[in-house]
């Protein structure tokens, strides 16, 4: 299957009528075929209109039919074969193992949500029966279920061309909830997006669903995304990207006549707190593990460990020496796009030029299209006095904050913004000190972990990939795991409905039932 440069609207290929662009191979800067044409405002309007028409039908599909649809998408992605892997490699510079692993994760997510749909628990069916004898007022018959919000706009992420893109977690969870999806593909990997988009459209047709259940739009700029979020038929947004991009979409959504939720994953430096006894016992080992995590995938993970907080001492020195040595041997890596690479270099230069920051180590230099890892250190006092040091540098750059004692460490932690993850490295003798921090850390992050690093997000019913602002726009939600389905649902209560008028799932619910 060869990728094409057309939009997918109403189950059909349609050439965009806006400006054209091409994918760029980040390893060498070369342009790739075919060219892609952006959607016009009228084409966005058409996709939104078809999604709105599809919504009342799709949201009431049986749970079995919806689950089979998700499984059909998974099978369609696998059927593309090696062509999908090779195209994704060329468009992102990511290695084969990473792309194959991400494909497996994408397929696994779809199948996991199919299971979630079949279970039906997400509907939260409830029945509180009437009681005509209750005094002084008779008790009504009340039944409740969760219903789909409506069409959802999903923005493909730059750093995950499959798992957070066209058929990634946002799309899978929205479709599982009963919401049609309109995807705005990321311009960095349009060919990969086109291949996956075709698999979704084929699944829509094979399952006999309305053609507006899914659409794929392209755009090299911001106009399509802005138009989607502003369209009155779109009822929620899923976004993974920069804080600037996420807050811009939030502003558009909040200024609509009917504001809608934007579930945006945006910015996180994922602090790692190293406790003294853990450092004394295995500081060098932790340092090597940190370096491996920092450089994994050129540091282009939302959960990359960008900040180390620790108390000064021999253990911290051992950690730094070990991490510095490992990073000095780390080869430069190709980043996802030239723009991301340039932004990373500017972030490293900003840290290098700060008078309160010292560079500890740097990785090996590579080609003009690659970036080297970098590690810096500063004092707690300097960190507390300079908010800019909290800004994310997207890539393999880390900052160590040296603290004098536990009190200073706690003040540094208290100054942090919301995070996706916070990791603790502890030994048995550190447990008491660490336990005092847990209530504070729960306020700061969506996932806390011990003796590890946040890179690698397990797709699980118990996973939270979210956190307080600015990690995400809504810290009550997650974009990974089955809990993600609840972002695209809302509860509706039905009072004193005759059985014939009740939605099918509520007709046979037993009194007192809570599914």
β-pairing, 181-184 vs 152-155, is parallel
Catalytic residue among 265, 377, 392, 408: 265
Q: Are 329 and 335 in contact (CB under 8 A)?
A: no
Q: Where are the beta strands (DSSP E) in 368-472?
A: 370-371, 374-379, 397-403, 419-425, 445-450
Chain centre distance of CA 118: 24
* CA 160 vs CA 180, 188, 218, 289: distances in Å: 22, 11, 17, 23
| Phi, psi of 102, deg, nearest 5 | -70, -35
Q: What is the DSSP letter of 331?
A: P
Q: Which of 179, 302, 341, 403 is catalytic?
A: 302
**Annotated catalytic residue 179:** no
Tell me how far apart the alpha carbons of residues 246 and 242 are, in angstroms, rounded to a whole number: 6
CA distance 124 to 438: 31
The Cα 125–Cα 136 span in angstroms is 28
User: C-alpha distances in angstroms, 41 versus 222, 230, 254, 259?
Assistant: 12, 11, 20, 20
Label residue 245 exposed, middle or buried (CB < 10 Å: 0-12, 13-18, 19+): middle
Please list, in sequence order, all residues whose beta carbon lies within 8 angstroms of the beta carbon of residue 422, skipping any fewer than 6 positions away: 270, 271, 272, 273, 441, 444, 445, 447, 448, 449
**What does the chain come to in residues?**
515
Residue pair 450/423 in contact by the 8 Å Cβ criterion = yes
User: What is the residue-wise DSSP string for 128-153?
Assistant: E--BTT-SSSPBPPEEEEEEE---EE
Q: Say if residues 438 and 448 touch (Cβ distance below 8 Å).
A: yes
Is 265 catalytic? The answer is: yes
Which are the catalytic amino acids? Answer: 265, 302
């Amino acid at each position: 299957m060869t990728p094409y440069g057309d939009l997918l609207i109403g189950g059909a290929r349609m050439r965009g009528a806006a400006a054209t662009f091409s994918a760029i191979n980040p390893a060498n800067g070369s342009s790739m075929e075919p060219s892609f044409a952006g959607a016009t405002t009228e084409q966005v309007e058409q996709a939104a209109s078809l999604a709105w028409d599809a919504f009342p039908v799709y949201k009431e599909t049986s749970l079995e039919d919806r689950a089979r649809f998700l499984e059909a998408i998974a099978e369609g992605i696998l059927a593309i074969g090696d062509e999908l892997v090779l195209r994704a490699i060329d468009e992102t510079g990511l290695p084969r193992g990473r792309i194959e692993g991400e494909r497996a994760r994408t397929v696994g997510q779809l199948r996991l949500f199919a299971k979630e749909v079949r279970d039906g628990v997400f509907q939260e069916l409830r029945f509180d029966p009437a009681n005509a004898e209750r005094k002084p007022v008779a008790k009504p018959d009340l039944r409740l279920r969760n219903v789909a919000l409506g069409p959802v706009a999903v923005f493909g992420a730059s750093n995950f061309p499959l798992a957070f893109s066209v058929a990634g977690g946002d799309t899978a969870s929205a479709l599982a909830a009963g919401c049609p999806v309109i995807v705005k593909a990321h311009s960095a990997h349009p060919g990969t997006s086109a291949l996956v988009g075709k698999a979704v459209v084929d699944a829509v047709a094979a399952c006999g669903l309305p053609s507006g259940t899914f659409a794929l739009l392209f755009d090299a700029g911001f106009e399509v995304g802005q138009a989607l979020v502003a369209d009155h038929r779109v009822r929620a947004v899923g976004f993974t990207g920069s804080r600037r991009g996420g807050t811009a979409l939030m502003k558009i959504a909040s200024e609509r006549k009917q504001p809608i939720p934007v579930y945006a994953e945006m910015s996180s430096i994922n602090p790692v707190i190293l406790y003294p006894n853990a450092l004394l016992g295995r500081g060098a080992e932790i340092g090597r593990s940190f370096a491996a995590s920092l450089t994994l995938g050129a540091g282009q993970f939302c959960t990359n460990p960008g900040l180390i907080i620790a108390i000064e001492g021999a253990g911290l020195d051992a950690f730094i020496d070990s991490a510095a040595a490992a990073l000095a041997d780390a080869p430069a890596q190709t980043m996802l796009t030239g723009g991301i690479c340039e932004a990373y270099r500017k972030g490293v230069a900003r840290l290098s030029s700060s008078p309160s920051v010292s560079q500890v180590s740097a990785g090996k230099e590579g080609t003009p299209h690659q970036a080297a890892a970098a590690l810096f250190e500063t004092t707690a006092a300097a960190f507390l006095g300079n908010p800019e040091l909290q800004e994310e540098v997207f890539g393999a750059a880390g900052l160590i904050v040296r603290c004098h004692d536990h009190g200073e460490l706690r003040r540094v932690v208290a100054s942090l913004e919301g995070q996706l993850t916070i990791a603790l490295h502890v030994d048995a003798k550190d447990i008491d000190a660490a336990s005092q921090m847990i209530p504070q850390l729960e306020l700061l992050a969506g996932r806390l972990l011990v003796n590890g690093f946040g890179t690698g997000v397990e797709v699980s019913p118990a996973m939270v990939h979210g956190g307080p602002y600015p990690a995400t726009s809504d810290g009550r939600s997650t974009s990974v795991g089955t809990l993600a389905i609840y972002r695209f649902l809302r509860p509706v209560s039905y009072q004193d409905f005759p059985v014939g008028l009740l939605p099918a799932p509520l007709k046979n619910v037993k009194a007192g039932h809570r599914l």
